[in-house]
Amino acid sequence: VGVTAWYKSLIRVDYRFSNPLDEQRARGLITVAMNTVIILAIGLVYLITDTSTSITGLSIGPVPIGVGDLALGAFLFLAIWTVYIVRLFIHRGRPDLAGIAYICFVLFVALLESILNQPATGFVLMLFSFPIILAGVLLEGRQKRIMNAVTIGVVILLAVLHLAGALEKFAPLSLSLGDMLVFVPLILLLQSNALGIFSDNQRKLLEHNLELNRKLEGNLEELATLNVRTMEATRLKSEFLATISHELRTPLNAILGFTGILLQGIRGQVDDDARRMLSRVESNSHRLLELINQVLDLSKIEAGRSELVRTSFSPRALIDQWHTQMEPLAKEKSLQFELVIDKALPETLVGDPERLTQIGVNLLGNAFKFTEQGKVNLRVECTAEDWSIIVTDTGIGIPPHALNFIFDEFRQVDGSSRRMYGGTGLGLAITRNLVRMMNGKIQVESELGKGSIFSVKLPLDGGLASQPITAVNVDKVLV
């Protein structure tokens, strides 16, 4: 019992198995191996306690050990492995093979005993104890305890009968005390753990774990379904937006067209007051059109219907173009506009120059929009794998709480800043999504009142982005 407890604690240490069934199998194997060691140890005790009181010359103290005893030890050793195999077959749903293994074993025992010219003690013991052991193993809870009690009862009965000399009269069962010494502890060992079957508590724990695993798998499945539904909802929303955008643009284009005709005096001159108001109609219509175009753009990106062009282009020429495009803004606000390009930047890159311009112009546009004095710096850096577009300004900066949603749709720092600075609040969301499509990263660092740094890091190979953008969380925020 002590040894059993000890190695049970030993095998409980290792819980690294990912699959509880693997663990169960491993425990079974360890248990059988441990039992084998114990039986071999018993055999060793037999051998070293050499006396000349029996035919074999072996005895345990005063108890002589016959050839039958040794055979019995060997049979029990075999019995453990047989039980292990039988259990394996039963667990695999092959009771037929289990039965064949058991019959083979019993026949083998009988064969050995006839060869050794021994009374069929082992044979009878095996025949009679094996079903008890197996029943004890396969049964659960109360039934198992009853079976254990029956087994122990039978063993005790045998012992008593033996001591009373009653078994001597029963010819095939000439059980000696040595037989009993081997038989009793081993049958208990087999019963309790030779099969690697856990105690009820362990079994419950295992079942609980399995149940939890099953639940977890169910939850995962549910989550996957939910995710698919969310993606579907996003797609539908984007499709709806695309349709709506088109429907919005049509009347707006009519407004712009007719306003333009009136402003150009194509149908006769309009007076200055009317012209002033028509200009307001025109500029507001342009703003609305820009918003609609951005919504359409964003919804297309989110619906995964926006594809990047892959063409070779000159990054220097592209950046020069941004510089030229932004220069009037810098002059208008009397801001310095610095441009620093890393010498390591390759002459040509592969990517989507139009979309890159959208990113660059957006970041620069924001920098100029939110900077009243000082400078805007555009720095282009290059490493072995990627290149970065870094826009630094000395503007109003972004408060820390706003850094978390600065890339979200329709988010500016607060409503008043939108009134003050205009814009749709979609620029950064589009930029972020475009950067993602290019397998790049966008980061922002900012200090309130001091300025902001937006940096976009893009892979030099152009970033083959094929997956649609569905997530809407910020890549990384540095404060």
Partner 1 sequence: MKDKFLQGWDVVVVEDEVDSLEIAEILLMSYGATVYTAADGAAGLEVIQKVRPKMVISDLSMPKLDGWGLLEKLKQNRATMDIPVIALTAHAMAGDRDKAIAAGFHNYLTKPLTVETFLQDMIRIVADIEMLEPFEKDPSSGETVNGSKDSAG
Query: What is the nearest approach in angstroms of partner 1 to the Cβ of residue 282?
Result: 10
Query: What is the nearest approach in angstroms of partner 1 to the Cβ of residue 249?
Result: 7
User: Which of residues 6, 128, 258, 410 is near partner 1 by CB under 8 A?
Assistant: 258
Asked if 257 is part of the footprint of partner 1 (rule: CB under 8 A), the reply reads yes
Query: What is the nearest approach in angstroms of partner 1 to the Cβ of residue 270?
Result: 14
Asked if 240 is part of the footprint of partner 1 (rule: CB under 8 A), the reply reads no
Number of residues near partner 1 (by CB under 8 A) = 16
In the stretch 447-466, what mask flags binding to partner 1 with x, by CB under 8 A?
--------------------
Query: What is the nearest approach in angstroms of partner 1 to the Cβ of residue 253?
Result: 3
The 3-state DSSP class for residue 346 equals: coil
Query: What is the nearest approach in angstroms of partner 1 to the Cβ of residue 472?
Result: 24
Asked if 219 is part of the footprint of partner 1 (rule: CB under 8 A), the reply reads no
**Piece in contact with partner 1 (CB under 8 A), picked from 16-24, 60-68, 163-171, 262-270:** 262-270
**CB-CB contact of 454 with 363 (8 Å):** yes
Asked if 9 is part of the footprint of partner 1 (rule: CB under 8 A), the reply reads no
In order, the DSSP letters of 387-435 are EEEEEEE-SS---GGGGGTTTSTT--S-HHHHHHH---S-HHHHHHHHH
Beta-sheet pairing, 58-60 with 63-65: antiparallel
Residue 238 φ/ψ, nearest 5 degrees: -65, -40
List all residues 6 or more positions away from 153 whose beta carbon is below 8 Å from its beta carbon.
Answer: none
**CB-CB contact of 321 with 357 (8 Å):** yes
Rounded to the nearest angstrom, the gap between the alpha carbon of residue 261 and the centroid of all alpha carbons in its chain is 62
CA distance 344 to 460: 12
CA distance 194 to 78: 12
């794998």: which residue's tokens? 385
Asked if 256 is part of the footprint of partner 1 (rule: CB under 8 A), the reply reads yes
**Piece in contact with partner 1 (CB under 8 A), picked from 88-96, 142-150, 253-261, 463-471:** 253-261
Query: What is the nearest approach in angstroms of partner 1 to the Cβ of residue 266?
Result: 5
Asked if 278 is part of the footprint of partner 1 (rule: CB under 8 A), the reply reads no
**CB-CB contact of 178 with 125 (8 Å):** no
Residue 195 φ/ψ, nearest 5 degrees: -95, 5
Asked if 53 is part of the footprint of partner 1 (rule: CB under 8 A), the reply reads no
Please list every residue from 289 through 318 that binds partner 1, using CB under 8 A. 296
Which chain residues interact with partner 1 by CB under 8 A? Answer: 246, 249-251, 253-254, 256-258, 260-261, 263-264, 266-267, 296
